[in-house]
Each structure stands twice: as C-alpha cells, then as structure tokens.
Amino acid sequence: MLLQTAASVAGHTSVLSGTIAEWMWLLPVLPLVGFVINGLLSLNSAHFGPRDPNTPGHHPHSEGAAEAPAISHAEEAGAAGDDHHAVKRHRWAGVTSIVGPGVLILSFVLAAMIWWQMVQAHPAAPFIQRYFSWMPVGDLQIDAAFQLDQLSMVMILVITGVGALIHIFSIGYMRDDPGYPRFFAYLNLFVFFMLVLVMGANYPVVFVGWEGVGLCSYLLIGFWFNDKANADAGKKAFVVNRIGDVGFLIAMFMLFANIGALDFVTVNARAIELGAGSALVTTICLFFFLGCTGKSAQIPLYIWLPDAMAGPTPVSALIHAATMVTAGVYLIARSAALFSLSPIASLTVAVVGAVTAIFAATIGLKQWDIKKVLAYSTISQLGYMFVGVGVGAYVSGMFHLVTHAFFKALLFLGSGSVIHAMHAAYHHTGSHEDAQDMRNMGGLKRYLPVTCALMWIATLAISGIPPFAGFFSKDEVLGSVFARAQGSTLASASWLGIPGNALLYAIYAIGLAAAFITAVYMTRMMLYTFHGPVRTGVEEEKHLHEAPLSMTGPLAILGILTVLGGWLNLPEVLTDLVPIGPSESLAKWLDPVVGSATRQVAGTATHVTASTEEMLIGAAVIIAVAGIVLAFARLKPETLTPKREAVPEHGFERIVAEKYYVDEGVEKGIVRPVYAVSRGFLWRLIDNGLIDGFFVNGSAALARGFGWVGSRIQTGNVGIYAWVFIAGVLAMLGAFTLR
C-alpha cells in the first residue's frame, strides 16, 4: 500500500520500527473506512434523517406514503423525549451494526497489540511516521505525520476502547432510529478525527483533528436537527469552540514565529529558548489554554456543553464526556515542556480548573434533567483534570482523564439506559412527559437493577470512595496540588499578586469542597432516579424494562473498568501498606513524555511524607462519605413531585437552578450587543450604506454616466462623423510630421 511504503521510509531510528507499530496509520484509517461505508449507506437510504413533522406526506426522502401514518405516530410520541423512535428501522441497519462498532473493535485490537509492543520495547523517543509534506512554505515545513509515544498510546487506548463500548451500546440505543447509518457514520468520523488529534506529530495535524472533532460534535449534537433547539445547540457548541480555536491558532503562530517549527520533538527540545518564565512563553501557553477552555468546556467557554446534551446519549458519553472534551487536557500534557516553563500560565490553568470544578458542581446540585446533571458533573471533573495538569502533575491529570472516561461513560450510558426505558414507557402510552427529568423517574431500581447497580459503582467512583477508580485519580490530583504548595516553581511564583503557595492551598481547599458537592449531587441523582416511589405514572410503570444485552454488556465492562481503573496508578503509600499491585504504573509509563516537565515544575516538592499523604487520603474519603451521607439524610425522594406538579424554587436555590443566569448574561452582554452592532452598524451602515450604496451602486452609476456621455457623441449624422474622422486623420498626420 502507498501509505505503507511511505511510512517505512521514516522512523528508522526507533525501536518500534519494523514492528506492528508500523501499522499505526491503520488506527485512524479503520474508523474512516467505517465512516465511508456508513455514510454511503445513509445516502443510499430512503430515510436521511428524522422526518419533518410539518410535511408528513411530502418529505423529500420519504420512501412512500404507505409508512407515513406510522412514522407520524412515532414522531408524536417521541417529541418530548431524548430519542425519536421511528417505527421503521433503516433497511441497512444490519450492515451498519456490524461495520460501525466493528471498525472500532479492530482499531482497539490493533492499538492493544501496538501497546503490548511498546510495553516490551520501552521506547524513550516518540516513534514518528512521515507520510507526505503537507505545507512546505519557505521556512514553514509541516509534514502530515503521526507520532506514537506513551501519552498518545494512553489516549488511543481510551478512545478506541471506550469508543468501541459506546459504539456497541449505540446498537441497542439507536437501532430504531431512521438515521441509524448516519449516526454511525458521524460516530466513526469522530473517532477518526480524535485519533488524528492524539496521534498528530505536530500542532497543525493536531489542529486538524481538533477541528474535525468539533465538526463531528456539531453534527451529532444536532443529529435530530428537525427540532430547532437541537440545531441551535449544535450551532452554539460550534461558535463557542471557534473562539477557543482562535487562541490555539494564535499560539501556533507565535510558536512558529519564535521557534520556527511546530512539530513536538523540535518544540519540546527548543522550548527552553523561549526563556523560562518569560512573558512570551506565558502568552503562548495562555493562548493554548484559551483553545483548551473552548474544547474542554472550562470557564468562560463552558456554556456549550450543557446544551450539547441535546444529542443522542451515546454521543454525550463518547464525545462530551470520555474523549473530545478531554482533548484540552491532552493538549496541555502534550505541551508540558511549554507549560512547565511558565508558572503563571500553569497557575492560571489550575485556578480556572478549580473554579470551574466548584462552579459547575454547585449547578449540578439543582438540575432536574439527568443528563444536565452529568453534563455539569463532566465540566466539574474536567476542572479537576486541569487542576492536575495546571500544577504540573501531568500524570495525575491524565490519570483522572482515563478513570473519568470509564466512570463518566458508564454514567452517561446508564442514563441512556434509563432514558431508553422511560422513553419506551411513555411511547407505549403516548404520553408527552419529559423522559429525562428525574422528577418523572424514581424507584427505577426495581425495573433496571443492572443499570442501577452499575451506576451506583460509577457514582461511588466519581464521589471518590475507595477502591473505585475515581478515588485514586481524584486523590492524586488533590495530593499533587498539596505537595506542590511547598518547594515547587509554582509555589514561589506569584499570580495576580497572590503568592503561589497560598493559591495552591486555596485550590486544594476548593478541590475538596468540589469533591464534597460532587458526592452530594451524584447521590441526589441516584436517589431521585432509582429510589423512592415511582413517579413515572401508573400506566407507564408497566412498560418500564431493563435494556437489552447490547446495552447492558458495555455497561458491565465499563463497570469493571471503573472498579479496576485505579490499579493503573496506585499510590506508593498504599502499596507500601498493602501490596495489592505495582505502584505508580501510569507515572512510570508516561515518564518518557512528561517526566522532565513534571520534575521541572515540582522542583524539590516531589513527595509529601507518608503520614501527610495518609492524612490527605483520609480527609478526601471523609469528605466524600460526608457528602453521600448528607445527601441521604437531607433528600427525600418520597416527597418529590413529578415535573408537571413541581413548584419553582426560590431565592438562591433558584439562582443555582437557573445556572447562575450565565446563559442569560451571555445573551444580554455578548449576543445581543453583537446582534445590535451587526444590525445597526455592520448591516445598515457598512453593508447597505458603504458596500451596496457606494461601491456596488456607485460603480454602476459611474459606468452609466460614461455611457450617457458616449451616447451623446453618437448623433447618427454622417456629416459630423466625417468631420471627426478628418480631424483625426489630420491630427495624426500632424503628429507624424511634427515629430
């Protein structure tokens, strides 16, 4: 194959050359093939998307009038809920069910094989494959190249592994949707771009993946685009992300202007030339971080993620929880060499992460939509990851990224299973109740025992209860914040006049508080969803049922991962106490990539004493248990009323329930002024007045004027023509004579 021959030219120095790792180009290509196949199937089909309820008989993609009544009935029943079940399955659904998840499973198997090769080879340098020269412009030499190192391997395994599980789940969840192949086409395309993002060997290739996943996110949020709210949510995500992308671009420009290269190897080697702690490296890092706030939904650009829940639930699990939104964390870990040089930028990352963590957590306390709770929870947990990479503990950030991918995917897919059951129940009775509102749920553990048990595991994990994955990763993030408050470069720096060590202690305290709130809102969600009386409705209750095996299977695997995920990086203090496994495996694994940057930031603050660490762990566990106990003690699912009878909150509770009115503030403070300026100034004055009035119509008037003058000369009188003619001849003769 062409790619293969091109690939074998490069990478001759790595220990991985000549091994299975040479096939790494196949990792993204497999999902791309899946995209092409599913995309063609979706084009070939009669159903392009959800049908437009306004034109039941005249839909351009309608297969025929015969099925119209059945579909319109389904539309009617599905309008209130998350997914729009049409009665008729797509005719190629069977092929899609094999191809869509199949390519992901193949990709994951290949990734696992390459991972095993890497475990044995221990490559110290990244394994780079150059395919072709992409942008050779003067000094700017950008290759289309992939690189494989320990960091990208972690991401690849998460993306293909969790991705494959979510694809399998989607078979059950989306099977009855008329846009089934289109859904898998987008999902496959997303995985392709995500793999490009994490495998890119230079910033521009990463940026291609970065934009590509943004596109797929947009397509999938607006998957049911007939509902304007869904289309608007997609648009919002796209626009908000563009703001961050400008930051990414500017950072790349500055990097090229000052280093002259954009590939990671060169940048990492020459980052020190920018000057440790210089304003330049801080600016570059902050612009990169602006991109991260957009993609990873941090303050101030987090506002798109809650709206993104308009997409199908597997999309929320894959894109808006497990993979795409963690791209910002990956980017910072990837740019660790830059961030470690700038304590101010690093502290900014940590502060924004901590503030986002607690801010989003409080909003999560008062949400009723089960997916909105999880959305704010995701924002909050992403905040933790940024705290981790912000304080220079890149391993802890990545660790939390991986465990979060497990338990948050589990939570989202579990909520998908709940919504699936709720929706089917409402579908049976033709009710228009909200299938995602927790006030309409309650007592579901009787009908969804598997989902309930697995979601409880994930809840305990996210709350930070040992021995689940979230406990280890969250504890490591908080522990490294605490450790770096003394002796690190961050502690001695000052951020906006605040001394670094005080700031780090404050971040630690905020992190603990956010952990407490996390435990509360997650327990609240579980209590209201699965416990207490059933509020779904007497008739609907009979139709509640557990999800099929294709959905509970992935849930169970994610449950196992959620339980065992902590073993990736057991703290030394624990393995010294009880030898349950190797300690710090992930830290050792990632050491070739982020080790030196971590040590650069940490300085002398490598470790706190064992007793302090035990105390920190104890505090974190007590906080988490306290949160759960508080939620159990204070929340009474028995007294909760269904949504249609609910009374609105008052006072501060209302402010929280309304998400601190941030969306309204953005609407009033940014969107409306932009509209006003666009209408009043740009449209009326500049476009209508200057462009249309002066340039367009003006040039037309000028031409018409010249034409009028010219037409006056054309009298039609031959005598005058002759006079002019003679005059011209004489003038020319005269000119020749006098020359």
Query: Which residues would be at the binding site for another protein (CB under 8 A)?
Result: 710-719, 722-723, 726
State the amino acid at position 129 in one-letter form.
Q
The b-or-e profile of 151-172 (16+ CB within 10 A means b, else e) is: bbbbbbbbbbbbbbbbbbbbbb
Is the CB of 676 or the CB of 720 nearer to another protein?
720
Query: How far apart, in Å, are the Cα atoms of 390 and each of 88, 336, 347, 384, 587?
Result: 50, 10, 6, 9, 16
Neighbours of 441 (CB within 10 A): 30
Return the closest-CA partner of residue 290 out of 347, 330, 248: 248
Q: Which is nearer to another protein, 714 or 737 (CB)?
A: 714
Nearer to another protein, 137 or 713 (CB): 713
The least distance separating another protein from the CB of residue 721, rounded to whole angstroms, comes to 9
- Closest approach of another protein to the CB of residue 735, in Å: 19
What's the min distance (Å) between Cβ of 738 and another protein?
Answer: 19
Cα–Cα dist 218/212, whole Å = 10
Tally Cβ neighbours within 10 Å of residue 646.
13
Closer CB to another protein, 549 or 733, in the complex: 733
DSSP string, 244-308: HHHHHHHHHHHHHHHHS--BHHHHHHHGGGG-TT-HHHHHHHHHHHHHHHHHTT-TTSTTHHHHG
Tokens representing 565 are 């995920």
User: Toward another protein, which CB reaches closer, 57 or 710?
Assistant: 710
CA separation for the pair 95, 88 (Å, rounded): 16
Task: Show the tokens assigned to 24.
Answer: 């790494």
Shortest Å distance, C-beta 708 to another protein: 9
Residue closer to another protein by CB (options 691, 722) is 722
Q: Which region, left, alpha or beta, applies to residue 547 given φ > 0 means left and ψ of -120 to 50 means alpha?
A: beta
Q: Is 495 helix (H, G, I), strand (E, B) or coil?
A: strand
For the CB of residue 717, give the shortest distance to another protein in the complex, in Å: 5
To another protein, the closest distance from the beta carbon of 718 in angstroms equals 5
Residue number with CB closer to another protein (257 or 732): 732
Looking at the Cβ atoms of 648 and 719, the one nearer to another protein is 719
DSSP state of 681: I
Please state, as a whole number, how many other Cβ atoms lie within 10 Å of the Cβ of residue 660. 13
How far apart CA 733 and CA 739 sit, in angstroms, is: 10
Nearest to 509 by CA among 350, 342, 290: 350
Q: Which is nearer to another protein, 8 or 715 (CB)?
A: 715
Closest separation between CB of residue 726 and another protein, Å?
A: 6
Shortest Å distance, C-beta 687 to another protein: 36
**Cα-to-chain-centroid distance, residue 110:** 24
* Shortest distance, position 728 Cβ to another protein, whole Å: 13
Q: How far is the CB of 714 from another protein (least distance, A)?
A: 3
Closest CA to 160 of 355, 26, 339, 16: 26
CA-CA distance, 298 to 290, in Å (whole number)? 9
User: Cβ 693 to another protein, closest distance in Å?
Assistant: 29
Give 691 or 703: the residue with its C-beta nearer to another protein.
Answer: 703
- Quick one: 611 or 714, whose CB is closer to another protein? 714
- Which is nearer to another protein, 5 or 711 (by Cβ)? 711
Q: Which two tokens stand for residue 708?
A: 């009028």
Q: Is 548 exposed, middle or buried (0-12, 13-18, 19+ CB in 10 A)?
A: middle
Q: For residues 464 and 479, is the Cβ–Cβ distance under 8 A?
A: no
- How would you write 506-561 as a 3-class SS string? HHHHHHHHHHHHHHHHHHHHHHHHHCCCCCCCHHHHCCCCCCCHHHHHHHHHHHHH
For another protein, the closer of residues 64 and 719 by Cβ is 719
Distances (CA, A) of 148 to 41, 69, 125, 199, 335: 33, 53, 9, 6, 15
CB of 716 to another protein, least distance (A): 3
Smallest gap from residue 729 Cβ to another protein (A): 9
Q: How far is the CB of 732 from another protein (least distance, A)?
A: 15
Please, which residue, 650 or 712, has the CB nearer to another protein?
A: 712
